């Protein structure tokens, strides 16, 4: 009499370079799973972690320039950050994003709050958007100086409040600013993850077919309830969308990479914003010869340093 062996799980879905999903429901993330602890005065900033949404056990990492942590006077710009990762990988606490945000906080002399959010596929869209809205409410609960986090009460200037995000985080920032109405000075979108059903510009001839395939398949996977790549949340200039005129901030900086498949989406966003009747000021910055996320993987390079300086200048209002 034969007996069957244990079930051998089978791969049912893959987002190359990001995650594997098996038929038993297991999700295996392929990158950015490490955790760096917070520290006192490392690299010109002090960091600590706080829980901002206890019911979901969601945390944020705070960055405070060392001079302010040591008792320096005066309020600093407040920068609210959301990491990238295709809505399905990474966290504020992995080494890649921790190092990057630390550099920005030190360079810009800003108070930075890097928020975690729930990831797909376990928590599909709109979970990330809902968490970002809760994060913004938590941050602004300190505006009167009596919120739960002393660093924000003492050091954050809410009249100079910015949103900032990379890739999927840039997408989150756009959607958050659309919902915010007002109260934000500006936002910085670094290589934002926008897409559409029809290729535009250099997307048609982009040499890496795998990268284009991943870009096309991520949104339907992480947003099964609204899988269309022309959904306004992923394609903010879609014909059926609300447009950009209601964007809830006064200044926008879009940063793109010349060799990034998402480059022309960033340019289209910038050009549409300038022409749509929105009352603010938009800027764009393109890094020559660089692809998606180069600044995260080449943080010590000259061009990554130039991008960080550009962001710092923007957050300091120059």
Q: Which of 32, 116, 260, 264 is catalytic?
A: 260
- On the 0-12 / 13-18 / 19+ scale of CB atoms within 10 A, 56 is middle
Q: Is 167 an active-site residue?
A: yes
Contact (Cβ atoms closer than 8 angstroms) between residue 222 and residue 124: yes
Q: Which of 167, 174, 223, 264 is catalytic?
A: 167
Q: How far apart are CA 309 and CA 294, in angstroms?
A: 15
Q: How far apart are CA 214 and CA 197, in angstroms?
A: 13
CB within 8 Å of 86: residues ≥ 6 apart: 15, 18, 167, 168, 193, 214, 218, 222
CB within 8 Å of 40: residues ≥ 6 apart: 46, 69
Which phi and psi (to 5°) does residue 165 adopt? -160, 150
Q: Is 260 an active-site residue?
A: yes
Q: Is 7 an active-site residue?
A: no
DSSP state of 26: -
Closest C-alpha among 106, 114, 111, 108 to residue 90: 114
Closest C-alpha among 105, 114, 113 to residue 45: 105
Active site residues: 167, 260, 292
């Amino acid at each position: 009499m034969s007996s069957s062996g244990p079930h051998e799980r089978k791969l049912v879905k893959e987002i190359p370079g990001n995650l594997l999903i098996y038929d038993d429901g297991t999700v295996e993330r392929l990158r950015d799973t490490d955790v760096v602890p917070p520290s006192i005065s490392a690299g010109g900033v002090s960091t600590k972690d706080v829980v901002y949404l206890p019911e979901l056990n969601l945390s944020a990492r705070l960055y405070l320039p060392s001079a302010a942590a040591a008792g320096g006077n005066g309020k600093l710009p407040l920068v609210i950050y959301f990491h990238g990762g295709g809505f399905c990988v990474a966290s504020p606490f992995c080494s890649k994003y921790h190092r990057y945000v630390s550099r920005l906080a030190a360079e810009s002399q800003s108070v930075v709050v890097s928020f975690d959010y729930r990831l797909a596929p376990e928590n599909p869209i709109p979970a990330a958007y809902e968490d970002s809205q809760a994060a913004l409410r938590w941050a602004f609960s300190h505006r009167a100086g009596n919120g739960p986090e002393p660093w924000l009460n003492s050091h954050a200037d809410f009249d100079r409040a910015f949103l900032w995000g990379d890739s999927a985080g840039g997408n989150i920032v756009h959607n958050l600013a659309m919902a915010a109405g007002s109260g934000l000075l500006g936002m910085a979108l670094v290589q934002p993850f926008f897409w559409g059903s029809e290729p535009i510009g250099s997307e048609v001839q982009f040499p890496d077919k795998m990268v284009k395939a991943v870009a096309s398949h991520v949104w339907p996977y992480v947003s099964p309830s609204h899988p269309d790549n022309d959904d306004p949340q992923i394609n903010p200039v879609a014909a059926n969308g609300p447009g950009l005129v209601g964007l809830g901030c006064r200044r926008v900086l879009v940063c793109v990479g010349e060799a990034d498949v998402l480059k022309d989406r960033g340019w289209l966003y910038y050009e549409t914003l300038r022409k749509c009747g929105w009352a603010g000021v938009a800027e764009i910055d393109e890094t020559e010869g660089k692809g998606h996320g180069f600044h995260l993987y080449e943080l010590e390079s000259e061009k990554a340093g130039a991008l960080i300086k550009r962001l710092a200048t923007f957050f300091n209002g120059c």
